[in-house]
Amino acid sequence: MSGEGIPQLKAVDCHDLRVAVVAALWHEEVMNGLIEGAKRALGDFQVDSWELVRVPGSFELPVVAQALTNASFDAVVALGVIIRGGTPHFDYVCQAATDGLNRVALDTQTPVGFGLLTCDNDDQALDRAGLPHSREDKGYEATAAALLTAQTLGRISAQERLG
């Protein structure tokens, strides 16, 4: 998938939302960039009430994301980095984390921002980490997407006009 065609997401006021960011520990430099990007988005969208929870690896993201939705957070942002190695392990962890996060979102009707980088090497991950020399800022993007989706879901349940 290429980063071409990425939309400019307009920041809106989400001060009434409670947001949780769940972030894996593997690949510290990239993770720090993703977390800073998430914090920047939370600031731009005026979210005051948010918490950061760390998990050992990306495989653990879904179960903790699910617990956070059960704890009444309005949106969860999942951040992780998985770098391909020489074994099929990469595919299993990517699949489990991706399927798990999607299932949490659908089963709980809570937006889960997908800030999970699945990369062939460190350079690809660094290029997406929102660091000074990165071309993309996936922590920001995933957070903005979760917040905008939470707002849309709120308007649907309030039966507001969506246009």
Largest CA distance in the chain: 51
* Catalytic residue status for 15: no
Verify binding: residue 45, ligand DLZ, rule CB under 6 A. no
Taking CB under 6 A as the binding criterion, the range among 12-20, 51-59, 70-78, 128-136 that sits at the site for ligand DLZ is 51-59
Taking CB under 6 A as the binding criterion, the range among 3-11, 53-61, 130-138, 142-150 that sits at the site for ligand DLZ is 53-61
# residues near ligand DLZ by CB under 6 A = 14
The only residue of 60, 74, 137, 141 in contact with ligand DLZ, by rule CB under 6 A: 60
The only residue of 59, 73, 114, 140 in contact with ligand DLZ, by rule CB under 6 A: 59
Q: Mind telling me the catalytic residues?
A: 89
